[in-house]
């Protein structure tokens, strides 16, 4: 009797251990599936996500039935047919049972059919919706590692290009077209829809029919390189009038300018420190309008690997974004300053780190940029975030009335554009009007003053000081336009440096510009008025290039 008793004890012990492990596993897995998480796949908020949820449930419950059935059969068999004593005979050995073989072929076939039919139906439903088009068409470009959002249809939203946040009106069907010019990404907003790959050379499409307002969190779901985990974005579903206001504010650009009160706060010009940002970033309604965007338009969509790779996010309304650099940091002035100091230390692999390394931007330039970028908000504050997940949002600069809104900065109102405040800023009017020298300032990326009046046929020294962060140039040539007069002047001025050129010209109007690529196109030009007997003076005026340029 001794061996049998020990066998039974050890069997009971093993069963208890197995049950214990199973329970721990169940609880551990349950902890992963928090339905209240914004990235949860089991709290659908659209018809598309609900369809996927339905398929998930079908699969889950079928798998549960199979699992419980198989486990129950195993446990029953183990208990019922275990060897009870040394005298137990070896059971009859069976090989091949036609009935059993048929049964366990039919059962999985039925299981697969039950899964297959609704899955295929859902695939066709989705494709039919894509074919029918959306109330709104949004092109999404997967970049390394952020998302560029182009609105293309209807016409009132066309040309809106933003980054990492997709604003959409509630109750509309949105057609997303997915492009990549680099590697494969995957566009995924778990509460709104399934994953869809973003593939170079092929445009994938999906629709999302929005219902309730809220902020929905998305991420890249395909490993795409260093910062794959920090390729997050948000879909902000908002009432239609609020969406229209956001579009209007986006198109209009800044209504105030912060960050360089000395330069006068002209909202159409970015502050001097922004000069280094211009090659990659745009701010609507300002002279920061030269950075390339999206894919090269001359290439078939999505076909060119690496085209326009350097272009960075459009920063219009940056002050309203909830995060910096596609989700890696909450958008606060402190975090923005850290980012501008050393982006590579915060987001490994970011292209910005190839230009911005520690020390490239001086502390005062960082402060100016932080003030400026955080001031890029619509009149009256950023659109309120309401509805789903709104309680998770810590975004800055929300319109008053939103819970948790910080009080409006009293300093901000000081920077409201004033056309008179900018005249002669950046120059020394006393020296210009009373002395022998005309002074002109270079900022990123405009001249201030931009109109110089000097006497004709008199040698007049013009001192040109670069207040900006990048190299500028002062040229008076007929480079593009033989109708303007050529003085053969072209001098480069380094940031922080001054240089003096002496002009001795006959009476006339001369056109000057900065010859650094892109700067003239961004508005860095002005006029030299040479008049008989005129006193030296300078002014800041709204100027246009000469006809034919
Ligand atoms: Cu893009 Cu992972």
Per-residue model confidence as pLDDT tens digits over 397-437: 665 444 433 333 322 222 222 222 223 333 333 333 345 78
Evaluate the CA torsion angle 332, 337, 340, 345 in order and state its sign.
negative
Residue 325 near residue 317, CB atoms below 8 Å: no
**188 membership: H or E segment, kind and range:** strand 185-188
- Which ligand 1 atom minimizes the distance to the CA of 231? 1
- Which ligand 1 atom minimizes the distance to the CA of 185? 1
Whole-angstrom Cα distance, residue 70 to residue 320? 54
Whole-angstrom Cα distance, residue 165 to residue 320? 10
Residue 401 CA: distances (Å) to CA of 321, 384, 388 = 18, 8, 18
| Torsion angle (degrees, nearest 10) of CA 187, 191, 192, 196 | 30
DSSP string computed for 437-469: -EEEEEETTEESS-EEEEETTS-EEEEEEE-SS
Q: Which residues contact 183 (CB under 8 A, 6 or more apart)?
A: 144, 200, 224, 225
- Which ligand 1 atom minimizes the distance to the CA of 221? 2
- Which ligand 1 atom minimizes the distance to the CA of 225? 2
Find out whether the beta carbon of 150 lies less than 6 Å from any atom of ligand 1: no
Find out whether the beta carbon of 142 lies less than 6 Å from any atom of ligand 1: yes
Give the model's pLDDT for residue 293: 67
- Which ligand 1 atom minimizes the distance to the CA of 198? 1
Cis peptide before 515 (omega within 30 of 0): no
Residue 306 near residue 182, CB atoms below 8 Å: yes
Find out whether the beta carbon of 327 lies less than 6 Å from any atom of ligand 1: no
Distance 224 CA to ligand 1 centre (A): 4
Give the model's pLDDT for residue 35: 59
Average pLDDT over residues 61-90: 90
Find out whether the beta carbon of 185 lies less than 6 Å from any atom of ligand 1: yes
Find out whether the beta carbon of 218 lies less than 6 Å from any atom of ligand 1: no
Of the pLDDT bands very low, low, confident and very high (cuts 50, 70, 90), residue 259 is low
Find out whether the beta carbon of 222 lies less than 6 Å from any atom of ligand 1: yes
Distance 231 CA to ligand 1 centre (A): 6
Distance 398 CA to ligand 1 centre (A): 29
- Which ligand 1 atom minimizes the distance to the CA of 228? 2
Average pLDDT over residues 498-525: 85
Task: Indicate if the pLDDT at residue 182 is higher than 90.
Answer: no
Distance 206 CA to ligand 1 centre (A): 18
Give the model's pLDDT for residue 41: 78
Whole-angstrom Cα distance, residue 344 to residue 367? 19
Distance 192 CA to ligand 1 centre (A): 18
Q: Which residues contact 223 (CB under 8 A, 6 or more apart)?
A: none
Hey, whose CA ends up nearest to atom 1 of ligand 1? 185
Distance 348 CA to ligand 1 centre (A): 14
Per-residue model confidence as pLDDT tens digits over 297-355: 444 444 444 444 457 899 999 989 989 888 888 888 999 999 999 999 999 888 888 88
Task: Indicate if the pLDDT at residue 76 is higher than 90.
Answer: yes
Find out whether the beta carbon of 259 lies less than 6 Å from any atom of ligand 1: no
Q: Which residues pair with 196 in a beta bridge?
A: 187
Distance 220 CA to ligand 1 centre (A): 4
Find out whether the beta carbon of 228 lies less than 6 Å from any atom of ligand 1: yes
Q: Which residues pair with 511 in a beta bridge?
A: 527
- Which ligand 1 atom minimizes the distance to the CA of 184? 1
Give the model's pLDDT for residue 34: 59
- Give the burial class of 98: count Cβ atoms within 10 A of its Cβ; 0-12 exposed, 13-18 middle, 19 or more buried: exposed
Task: Indicate if the pLDDT at residue 294 is higher than 50.
Answer: yes
Q: Which residues contact 46 (CB under 8 A, 6 or more apart)?
A: 191, 192, 193, 208, 209, 210, 211
Give the model's pLDDT for residue 297: 43
* Whole-number average pLDDT of the chain: 81
Cis peptide before 445 (omega within 30 of 0): yes
Residue 186 CA: distances (Å) to CA of 322, 329, 426, 478 = 22, 21, 48, 50
């Amino acid at each position: 009797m001794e061996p049998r008793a020990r066998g039974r004890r050890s069997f009971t012990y093993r069963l208890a251990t197995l049950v214990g492990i199973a329970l721990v596993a169940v609880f551990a897995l349950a902890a992963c599936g928090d339905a209240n998480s914004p990235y949860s796949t089991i709290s659908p908020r659209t018809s598309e996500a609900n369809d996927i949820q339905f398929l998930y449930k079908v699969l889950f419950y079928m798998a549960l039935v199979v699992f419980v059935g198989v486990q129950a059969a195993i446990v029953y068999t183990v208990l019922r047919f275990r060897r009870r004593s040394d005298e137990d005979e070896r059971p009859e050995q069976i090989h091949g049972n036609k009935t059993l073989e048929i049964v366990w072929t039919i059962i999985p076939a039925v299981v697969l059919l039950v899964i297959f039919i609704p899955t295929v139906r859902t695939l066709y439903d989705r494709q039919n919706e894509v074919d029918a088009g959306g109330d709104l068409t949004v092109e999404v470009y997967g970049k390394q590692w952020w998302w560029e959002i182009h609105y293309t249809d209807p016409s009132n939203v066309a040309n809106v290009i933003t980054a990492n946040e997709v604003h959409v009106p509630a109750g509309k069907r949105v057609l997303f077209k997915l492009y990549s010019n680099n590697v494969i990404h995957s566009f995924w907003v778990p509460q709104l829809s399934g994953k869809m790959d973003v593939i170079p050379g092929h445009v994938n499409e999906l629709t999302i029919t929005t219902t309730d307002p809220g902020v929905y969190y998305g991420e890249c779901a395909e490993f795409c390189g260093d910062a794959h985990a920090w390729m997050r974005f948000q879909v902000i579903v908002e009432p239609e009038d609020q969406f229209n206001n956001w579009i209007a504010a986006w198109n209009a650009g800044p209504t105030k300018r912060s960050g360089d009160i000395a330069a006068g706060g002209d909202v159409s010009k970015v502050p001097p420190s922004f000069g280094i940002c211009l090659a990659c970033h745009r701010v609507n309604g300002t002279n920061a309008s030269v950075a390339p965007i999206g894919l090269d338009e001359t290439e078939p969509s999505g076909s060119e690997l690496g085209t326009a790779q350097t272009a960075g996010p459009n920063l219009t309304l940056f002050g309203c974004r909830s995060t910096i650099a596609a989700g890696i940091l909450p958008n606060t002035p402190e975090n923005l300053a850290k980012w501008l100091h050393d982006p590579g230390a915060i987001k490994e692999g970011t292209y910005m780190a190839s230009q911005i390394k520690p020390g490239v931007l001086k502390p005062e330039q960082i402060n100016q940029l932080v003030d400026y970028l955080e001031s890029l908000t619509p009149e009256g504050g950023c659109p309120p975030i309401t509805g789903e997940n709104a309680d998770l949002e810590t975004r800055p600069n929300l319109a008053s009335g939103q819970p948790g809104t910080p009080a409006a900065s009293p300093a901000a109102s000081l920077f409201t554009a004033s056309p008179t405040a900018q005249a002669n800023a950046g120059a020394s009017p006393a020296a210009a009007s009373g002395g022998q020298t005309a002074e002109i300032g270079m900022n990123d990326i405009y001249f201030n003053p931009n109109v110089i009046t000097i006497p004709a046929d008199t040698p007049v020294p013009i001192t040109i000081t670069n207040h900006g962060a990048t190299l500028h140039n002062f040229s008076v040539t007929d480079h593009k336009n033989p109708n303007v007069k050529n003085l053969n002047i072209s001098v480069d001025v380094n940031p922080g440096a001054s240089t003096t050129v002496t002009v001795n010209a006959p009476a006339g109007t001369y056109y000057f510009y900065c010859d650094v690529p892109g700067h003239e196109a961004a508005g860095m030009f002005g006029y030299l008025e040479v008049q008989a007997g005129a006193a030296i003076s300078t002014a800041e005026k709204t100027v246009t290039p000469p006809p034919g340029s």
